[in-house]
């Protein structure tokens, strides 16, 4: 199973040639793809009318991992660690990274610069 960051889905929406996206490559490799409930929220609020139908169909085929108390506890630890190191990243990225760590799922992202700051997060390259 692979947790997809929002950047993977945004690339899929933007590129005309879907077969040239990381999403397509991961799906073609027969990987089980999932997203955090945080990613579902991010895409939901940022989705343009042009992509609403596409997103609704796509999201039905993705497992959505909930953000629960364990995720929250991990997010707090990540936040405090990044704050101490003065290497803060977006809150949504912390929550998504915490979801991946909590559920022991590697993450696929096009934003490796930020996610690589999260200790113990396995990033698909």
Tally of structural domains, the chain? 1
CA distances from 111 to 16, 42, 107, 114, 115 (A): 21, 15, 11, 6, 6
**pLDDT of 3-17, one tens digit each?**
999 999 999 988 999
Q: Cα(65)–Cα(3) distance, rounded to whole angstroms?
A: 9
Domain assignment of residue 16, given as a range: 2-124
CATH for 51 = 3.40.50.1010
Give the pLDDT confidence score for residue 67 in this predicted structure: 97
Low-confidence ranges of the chain (pLDDT < 70): 48-50
């Amino acid at each position: 199973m692979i947790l997809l960051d929002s950047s993977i889905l945004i690339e899929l929406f933007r590129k005309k040639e879907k077969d040239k996206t990381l999403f397509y490559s991961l799906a073609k490799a027969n990987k089980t793809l999932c997203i955090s409930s945080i990613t579902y929220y991010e895409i939901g609020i940022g989705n343009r009318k042009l992509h609403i139908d596409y997103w609704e169909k796509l999201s039905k085929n993705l497992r959505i991992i909930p953000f629960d108390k364990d995720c929250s506890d991990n997010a707090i630890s990540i936040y405090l660690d990044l704050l101490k190191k003065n290497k803060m990243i977006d809150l949504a990225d912390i929550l998504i990274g915490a979801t991946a760590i909590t559920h022991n799922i590697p993450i696929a992202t096009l934003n490796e610069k930020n996610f690589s700051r999260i200790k113990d997060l396995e990033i698909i390259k």
